[in-house]
């Protein structure tokens, strides 16, 4: 049953595609609202302090990023499906063929001519993450809970499309207590927003669920946006983390925008 992790990865990415499309629809609704408002009262933009145009620009940036993410995930799905369809046999036949089929699959994976230009761009993007900190899911597909940590990318294998990462600060309960490395698929990696370019970063609206680095740790947890960096006139979100109760209430915590990413579809915590 060697193909089950591949199937699980495909299902993960189809859920992610679905989430991205729903989010795109939400953004388009907001864009249309802004268009109607500006058509009805174009003079509003001349009023001092009006932020209609910057809000519209931010919505377009968001729509563009979601659209690019959709292309990225679609390309990953195409590659995953390609690796499961080497040369025709059905799933049952493929399992019987064993090692011979594995060899064929390796040949398909390393056949550069089969990689689409957009997938090549995706591979370049992952290769360029070397030395950068990213969010990584280090738990197995079938684990009860998803564990996400801040790790450093040390290598990207273009043939296997695996990302090798280093957990520079493993927890006290880790065996050995030293630094650990993991080899993870591309779908287990979420790049952080660029710290030095907040204007090009997607801003998550209040009420949105996100994945964020808990203050003082290198672990990421699900949180709800209370206030945005733009509203706070700073580079930090105000968040409420799930399961973070103190005296029966959820404290609100500040987290830099470059340590907050979209919550993956089907996240288990």
Angle between helical axes of 52-84 and 4-40 (0-180°, round to 10) = 160
Distance of CA 248 to the CA centre of its chain: 32
pLDDT tens-digit map of 72-119 = 888 787 777 777 775 544 444 434 444 444 444 444 444 444 556 777
Token digits of residue 198: 């907040």
- The pLDDT assigned to 80 comes to 76
Angle at 158 between CA 152 and CA 163, to 5 degrees: 25
CA triple 170-175-178, angle to 5 deg: 45
| CATH assignment of 130-191, among 3.30.1540.20, 2.30.30.140, 3.10.20.30, 3.30.420.10 | 2.30.30.140
Structure tokens at 201: 């970063």
Number of continuous H segments (helices) and E segments (strands) in the chain: 6, 10
What's the helix, strand, coil split of the chain in %, to 5? 45, 20, 35
**Distance (Å, rounded) from C-alpha 264 to C-alpha 243?**
18
For the whole model, what pTM was predicted? 0.54
Residue ranges of domains in the chain: 7-81, 130-191, 208-262
| CA pair distance 99, 88, nearest whole angstrom | 16
Answer yes or no: are the C-beta atoms of 269 and 241 closer than 8 Å. Answer: no
Residue 205's CB: how many other CB atoms inside 10 A? 12
Looking at residue 46, its pLDDT comes to 84
Task: Give me the torsion for CA of 88, 89, 90, 91, rounded to 10°.
Answer: -110
What letter would DSSP give residue 249?
B
Integer distance in angstroms from the first to the last C-alpha of the chain?
27
Confidence (pLDDT) at 173: 53
* CATH tag for 208-262 (out of 3.30.9.10, 2.30.30.140, 3.30.750.24, 2.60.450.10): 2.30.30.140
Q: Which residues lie across from 8 on neighbouring strands?
A: none
**pLDDT (0 to 100) of residue 152:** 94
Q: Which residues of the chain have pLDDT under 50?
A: 1-3, 88-113
Instruction: Give pLDDT, residue 201.
Output: 79
DSSP secondary structure string, 196-239? T-GGGSPPPPTT-EEEEEPTTSSEEEEEEEEE-HHHHTSSEEEE
Q: Do domains 130-191 and 208-262 have the same CATH topology?
A: yes
């Amino acid at each position: 049953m060697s193909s089950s992790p591949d199937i699980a990865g495909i299902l993960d990415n189809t859920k992610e595609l679905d989430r991205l499309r729903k989010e795109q629809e939400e953004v388009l609704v907001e864009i249309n609202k802004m268009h109607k408002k500006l058509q009805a009262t174009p003079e509003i933009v001349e009023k001092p302090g009006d932020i209609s145009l910057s809000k519209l620009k931010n919505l377009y940036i968001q729509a563009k990023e979601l659209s690019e993410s959709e292309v990225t995930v679609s390309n990953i799905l195409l590659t995953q499906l390609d690796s499961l369809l080497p040369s025709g046999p059905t799933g049952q036949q493929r399992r019987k063929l064993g090692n011979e089929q594995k060899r064929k699959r390796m040949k398909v994976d390393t056949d550069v001519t089969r990689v689409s230009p957009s997938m090549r761009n995706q591979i370049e993007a992952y290769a360029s993450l070397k030395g950068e900190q990213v969010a990584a899911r280090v738990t197995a597909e079938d684990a009860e809970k998803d564990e996400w940590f801040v790790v450093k990318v040390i290598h990207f294998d273009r043939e296997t499309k695996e990302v090798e990462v280093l957990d520079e600060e493993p927890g006290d309960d880790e065996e050995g207590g030293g630094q650990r490395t993991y080899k993870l698929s591309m779908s287990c990696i979420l790049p952080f927003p660029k710290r030095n370019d907040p204007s090009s970063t997607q801003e998550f609206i209040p009420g949105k669920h996100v994945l964020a680095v808990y203050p003082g740790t290198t672990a990421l947890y699900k949180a709800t946006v209370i206030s945005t960096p733009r509203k706070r006139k700073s580079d930090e979100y105000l968040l409420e983390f799930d399961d973070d109760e103190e005296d029966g209430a959820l404290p609100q915590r500040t987290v830099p925008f470059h340590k907050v990413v979209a919550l993956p579809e089907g996240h288990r915590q």
